[in-house]
Structure 1
Amino acid sequence: MKRPGRDDDPDRLYTVTGGRSRSGTDAFDLVTLVVSESEPTPGMQSEHASILRICRSPTAVVEIASDLGLPVSIVRILLGDLHAAGRITARHPRTAASADQLPDPEILKQVLVGLRNL
């Protein structure tokens, strides 16, 4: 069984990132929500264009990686490119809500117990 991202040709991943192994920013963790600010343009790298299409509505980094079948580390590099070009915006879900708007930790614990019991 082929594992997306792990069994990909290393040369392909090298080409996709332009040889970079790290993103130039720490702005993207797994749950950062990304939104496109523009449409793909002709001649754009196919992975960048795919990200812009996927992110027409807020989409988490982990979902983008899954949709593209690429490792999160590679997707972070691509997102950094798009962010630097002003083609996407990103925000962490916690920055959108103040502490008093977050769910009660006790309720979250009860939900977790309920899910484990399923």
Structure 2
Amino acid sequence: MAQALYGAPAEQIRDFLQAHHITGIIAENDLEALKLMHGLQRIDAPFAAKLSVIGFDDLPAAAQNTPPLTTIVQDFPAMGTEAVTALLSQINNPTKLFNQPVTVPVKLVARQSTKPKGESNADF
């Protein structure tokens, strides 16, 4: 869906979401989430108010938006530490295979751009 609608007019995005009964979107980052929210608010404020939207990055604008954007926060210091640890391990053990995935926890910052279950637009 994302590729088909990327850069599409807000009307086309709204029509697609309604036709497929989509009540929430997780955007690739806060900027794209904010652009989606503003575009939908401009053309159909009641529809936009019922759509749940989540971004990724926790940009300062996310908290200042109306409504404030729910977002995912990454732990960049932990990611850097893991990357340096893996790099140093590879340098110190060049023949050893390092193929174990490493995960770093993220944090959900819930704000008003998401709706509790049952409060989204049932008419989607």
**Common fold, TM-score beyond 0.5?**
no
TM-score normalised according to structure 1 size: 0.28
Larger radius of gyration between Structure 1 and Structure 2: 2
